[in-house]
Amino acid sequence: MDISKPERSATARQRMFEILEHGRRRDFASRIIDGFLVVLVVTNVAVVIAQSVPEVAAEYGTSLYVFDRLCVIVFAIEYAARIWVAPEHPMLRGNSPLMARLRFAGTPLMIIDALALVPWLLELLFPQSTLVPLTRLVRLLKLARYSPAIATIGRVIVSERRALMACVIILSGVLLTAAALMLAIEGHKQPGRLGDMSKTMWWAAAMLAKIGGGETEPVTALGRIVSAITVMLGIFCFALPVAIIGRGFYEEIRRRDFVITFAMVARVPLFSKLDASAIADLVSILRARTVTPGTTLMRQGDRGDAMYFIASGSVEVSSPTLSAHLSEGDFFGEMALLSKEPRIATVTAETSADLLVLEVDDFLRLLDRLPAFKEHIEQVAIERQHGKLKGS
């Protein structure tokens, strides 16, 4: 393995995958395409709103229509391109290209992308409908792809689904019980307002949501007691899911960006001999990153922008001539920073992993400041270059 002559295996499809799906911070093309699509989605939604105003529609109807058709063409090309690059997705490797594409088409974000194209089809089928144009507002959901916070809420809802389902069951139970009691107590006294289950269920829902029962006031003492209990249970029923989602959100954020501690840095063998002030410096320099199994951290041929220390978990280093496994305490990604050449291997997370990221500028500063750090890293890089050493 020669560090100065890395193998460049990037194909057009790989590159397109990186631009569309990888979303790396430093990839200029990726940022331009993302920015363009975000502007297009927002403008498209604004156009739908504008078209619903009769005066605007009368004056600019044709231009707005043409703009919308252009958007549909761009969204269709985007959808086709995402489907085309699906086999490059790390989680879908090992599937045949067709299977990878089918499975990718079933992911939530791709379903949203497909839904964004449906209004165009509906408009062809039902040209007279006034409701169909409004279905174009679904395109706003495309922005979910660009908002990590929305993805986080989605993950929280999925991970807390059992607790949330329990809340739905409790809420339904309270609603039905309150409705049945009110029907039994006041149904015959106020047949117009509380005379059947559909009416008392509406009353119970209004009481639980604390919007009040409107003009439907209980007229019996027992009815008033049931109303009071229903309102109080409403507070409990609505507070419960809020608390569950809040706690799940906190857990998710904690999992993603764990706090780097002094002990965590000191445990990395390379730093273990540093004095306390140097370790404290590192705590402020290093960035935390948690990754899920299958995440590609760097690809052979990539430009080096950071090196990584493994705080927990394991990764696989692979190239056509190499397959190595690194785990807690090991580091990787140092060779491209030292040689200023592209990455010589692809590194993928094998398990969930907590990583400490050292950006290239900080890395170069550390090399100057800590001669022992420099010597050790260079030694490991030379040994790896000759395919000798795996761990660090």
Q: Catalog residues that contact ligand CMP under the rule CB under 6 A.
A: 298, 304, 317, 322, 324, 326, 332-336, 343-345, 347, 384, 387, 389-390
Between 78 and 334, whose beta carbon lies closer to ligand CMP? 334
Between 93 and 325, whose beta carbon lies closer to ligand CMP? 325
Give me the least distance between CB of 336 and ligand CMP, in Å please: 3
Give me the least distance between CB of 27 and ligand CMP, in Å please: 17
CA 233 to chain centre: 34
264 residue type, one letter: M
Gap between the Cα atoms of 359 and 377, Å rounded: 15
Is 355 exposed, middle or buried, given 0-12, 13-18 or 19+ CB atoms closer than 10 A? Answer: buried
Gap between the Cα atoms of 179 and 194, Å rounded: 9
Beta bridge partners of 288: 356
Q: Which segments of 225-345 are extended strands (E)?
A: 287-291, 296-298, 306-312, 314-319, 322-327, 331-332
Between 78 and 302, whose beta carbon lies closer to ligand CMP? 302
323: left (phi over 0), alpha (psi -120 to 50) or beta: beta
Between 248 and 304, whose beta carbon lies closer to ligand CMP? 304
Between 245 and 322, whose beta carbon lies closer to ligand CMP? 322
Beta bridge partners of 315: 326, 349
Give me the least distance between CB of 316 and ligand CMP, in Å please: 10
Give me the least distance between CB of 10 and ligand CMP, in Å please: 15
Give me the least distance between CB of 39 and ligand CMP, in Å please: 35
Picking from 329, 307, 323, the residue whose alpha carbon sits closest to that of residue 374 is 307
Give me the least distance between CB of 319 and ligand CMP, in Å please: 8
By beta carbon distance, the residue nearest ligand CMP is 336
Between 199 and 299, whose beta carbon lies closer to ligand CMP? 299
Q: Where are the alpha helices (H) located in 86-160, listed in sequence order?
A: 97-105, 108-115, 118-125, 148-159
